[in-house]
Every structure is written in C-alpha cells, then in structure tokens.
Amino acid sequence: MGTKENKSPWISISEQLPPEGEEVLVRLKNYNYSPRIMFYRKRDKIWVEEGDVYFDCYVDGDDLWTPIPDLEGLIMEYDQTQIFIIRGLNDCSIHFSFTDDGLSVSVFTRNGLQGEFYFNEITLKVFAYAYKMHCEKIRELNEKERNS
C-alpha cells in the first residue's frame, strides 16, 4: 500500500515504521481496520492510544498507518444562511446546514463525488444521548482504574 503506483496514503507497517511517539492514523488488522489515532512504541512493538482510556495493541504485519494530515490548511466558513463549511486539502469539503428541524451534511470529494446525509431532531437527540452515555462510561472506567 502507500506506493507511488497506487497513490494510497496508507503505509504498511511491514514496509516502514512510523516515527516513534508521533501520533498517526492507523488501521489495525486486529480491529478490522477501523481507523484510530495511536502512536508506535518501538521498545514494546505495540500501538498505544492515550486519552481518557489507555489502550495498546501488538503490531501485526498487516497494520496500516498514515501521518495525520496538517489541519492548518483547513478553512472554516460560516455565513448568514446557517451553513458551516470545512474545506480541506485537494478540494474536499464538508457542508453542515442547520435547518429548523435537523442537520443536513454534504460531503464533497476531490473526484467530484458527493454524499448527502440528513439527521432529524430526534436522531440528533439520540446521538447526543448516546454520546453522553459513552462519556459517563469512560469516566466510570477511568475512576475504577485510578482506584485500583
């Protein structure tokens, strides 16, 4: 992966190690390649994720990583029409449009592809509740870990 022929941003861990201690975006074989932000610890040959929960995982030869893109190039816009736009690299952008009864999200890729998502008020309340429950569980786990 990550070769010049296919222009993929993903680098195989078997081809190149990331800089030690630098957070990178990873896709781990052991976690079905679900993206995570972690750093590589050379002495233990593990991926480490720090934050509210400490997590580590042994490196697999099929793991992938890529540097976290520089977010300095992002341009955020907000206008009077209640549209919030985040522009990224390569002409990619995300448009958030706040309506009276929900949120509309449009994603535009550099290839001209577009994805449209709409979340009504009830769905947004469910997301907010689920996030609140997640945060409470994380706080509870952290408290148990500190007390053990």
pLDDT tens, position by position, 110-134 = 777 788 888 888 788 888 878 788 8
Helices (H) and strands (E) in the chain, counts: 1, 11
Rounded to the nearest integer, the mean pLDDT of the chain is 77
Q: Which residues pair with 65 in a beta bridge?
A: 11, 26
Q: Quick: pLDDT tens for 71-123.
A: 555 555 655 567 778 777 667 888 888 877 788 888 888 777 788 888 888 78
pLDDT recorded at residue 15: 92
Cβ-Cβ contacts under 8 Å for 51 (sequence gap 6 or more): none
- Compute the distance between CA of residue 30 and CA of residue 20 in angstroms, rounded to an integer: 20
Confidence label for 16 from pLDDT (cuts 50, 70 and 90): very high
**DSSP 8-state code for residue 19:** P
Residue 102 DSSP class: E
In this prediction, residue 70 carries a pLDDT of 63
Quick one: pLDDT at residue 41?
84
**Residue of 35, 45, 39 whose CA lies nearest to 19:** 39
Examine the pLDDT at 53 and tell me if it is beyond 70.
no
Give residue 2's pLDDT band: very low, low, confident or very high (50, 70, 90).
very low
- DSSP 3-state of 82: coil
pLDDT score recorded for residue 4? 44
